Amino acid sequence: MAYATGLTVLLSVASWRLCSPVLMIPAGITFLLTIFVFYFFRNPERTAPTDKAAVVAPCDGTVIVVERVPETPLKTEALKISIFMSVFNVHVNRAPFDGKVLDTFHHAGKFFDARDGRASCENERNGIIMEIAGGARIAFVQIAGLVARRIISYPLIGDKLIRSERYGLIRFGSRVDVYLPVATAPLVKLGDKTVAGETVLARIV
C-alpha cells in the first residue's frame, strides 16, 4: 500500500508542477490502483455468534464445495466445506473454531483457478490442524488461486486460537477449505455467501 500511495503522490505532484497532461494519465491510473489496494486490504470488525458449538466461515466468499471426502489433512474421512474468495471479497482469514494448533503445513504447488477441483491438492497452500474441546480435530487450509500468489498465516504449533479471530490472509482471489468431523451436519449449501467470523458453516456436537 505504501508503494502505491507513494507512486500516486509522486506522479500527481509531477503532473501538477510540470503542468503535464501526459503525466496526468499514469497519475490517474495509479490513483485508481491505490484506491483498489486500500479496498482490497480492508479489515472490518466481525461479531462471532453466541452459539459455542457453531463453526464459522474462515473467509468472506461463496460456498463451492459441501461434501464428505475420504482423503483429508486429518488423515481420515471428513466433511469438507470450501469457500471461494473473489478479488472483491475481504481477504482477512479468521479462525473457524476455538482450539489449539497441533500442526501447520505448507505445500508449494500450482496456481489453478481456486474453483478448480484440483486446487485442494495441487495448488500452493498453507494449512492448520487444530484440536478442539473433546479431543476432536479440524483443519482449515488457505489455497492460492490463479491470481493469488501470497499466503500469510500467523499461528504456530501450540498456539491457541479463538473463534473468529484473525489468523492470516491471502492476496488477490483464492479459497479456504475447512475439514470437520465426518458426523458434522453442514448448515450451508452450494452458492451460499459467507461472512468471515459470522456465518455458521456447521455445528459440532
Strand partners, 8: none
CA distance 198 to 28: 37
**Residue carrying the nine cell digits 503522490:** 9
User: Of 82, 120, 153, 174, which one is the catalytic site residue?
Assistant: 174
Exposure of 139 in the CB half-sphere (CA atoms within 13 A) = 25
Contact 160, 99 (CB under 8 A): yes
In the residue annotation, 174 being an active-site residue is answered as yes
Contact 201, 57 (CB under 8 A): yes
Strand partners, 21: none
Of 58, 70, 52, 72, which is closest to residue 179 (Cα–Cα)? Answer: 72
Torsion from C-alpha of 171, 64, 155, 5, nearest 10 degrees? 20
Q: What is the maximum span of the chain, computed from C-alpha positions, in angstroms?
A: 69
Catalytic residue positions, numbered: 174
